[in-house]
Amino acid sequence: MENVHVLTHASSTRGQYLPPTANSYRSTNDENVHSLVAQLQKTLELDKLINIFSFEAAKLLQIAGLQFHSIDGVVEMTGSKNLGQTVSFDLEIENERLGQLVYFTKKPISIFLKEKLHRLHCVLVYPLRNALMFYRVKKLATKDILTGLSNRSHFNDYLSKKLDRCRRHHRHFGLMLLDLDNFKQVNDTHGHLFGDRVLVQFSKLLLQSIRGIDTVFRFGGDEFAILVDDNQENACNIIANRMQILVHQDALLAKHQVTTSIGFTLAKVSDDQVSVFERADKALYKAKNNGRDCFEIMK
């Protein structure tokens, strides 16, 4: 594996620590490495990959936490805690930087252990690169290119899971449908590039209106949806009110008299994807008929 480079940036440590398992690990090193290779090849999910690797690394040293940082975000092992000393390793393969592996350890890491970790990292980098590629392809398949919001395909999958949970746990949730008033006029007058600016700005306002547990989707054109993770009608009212206030206050949208009509409903145990969507769509249609720039609920 001469094309694999693992660069180390470790905090200074005093003393040498060797856990009780290290000697036994030394004697069965090849066997452990082959086992790790086989385990890592079983998944393309980043979180599972890090968990598998953390289990093997824990045979060498006492780990309080383990994180992998990349341009796609942070993935950490199950139960990871930011405790103790931090030691980080930059992972690189064939001149491509994958990211940084950060250990939170209870004891200093010796040079001997760093060499052992280096060998494990050489095993990790190839499955890790494949997992990152898989994650990015999957992300492209579920994201709207213009706004970065989740797309209709992702909405269908997520709605199905939410309905299944609703039936099993009797926990309702809200479905909110939105579209832009006067958007066609803006598009026709100023062109599609300007229309794209309006859509991107509206998407930002949507993200400002929701909570971290809610999810926003773009279906295409000026059609959007929000899955509200709450079983109370009031939560939908709050989000709809907040959204309309932000739209009215936004300089770009207000200048071109772009507003939003909103329809929402609470999912029922008896609902399927068609019934809950049709009910929210009827609420949106009602908001349009009532003069637009308002929201309606359909029970």
Which positions are catalytic? 222
Handedness of CA 268, 272, 273, 274 (dihedral sign): negative
Handedness of CA 269, 274, 280, 283 (dihedral sign): negative
Q: What is the DSSP letter of 293?
A: S
Q: Are 260 and 202 in contact (CB under 8 A)?
A: yes
Alpha helices in the chain (DSSP H): 21-27, 29-40, 46-57, 111-142, 152-169, 183-190, 192-209, 233-249, 251-255, 273-289
Dist CA 86 CA 269 (whole Å): 48
Token digits of residue 122: 């050489």
Q: Are 57 and 120 in contact (CB under 8 A)?
A: yes
Q: What is the DSSP letter of 258?
A: -
Q: Are 45 and 108 in contact (CB under 8 A)?
A: no
Angle, to 10 degrees, between the axis of helix 183-190 and the axis of helix 192-209?
140
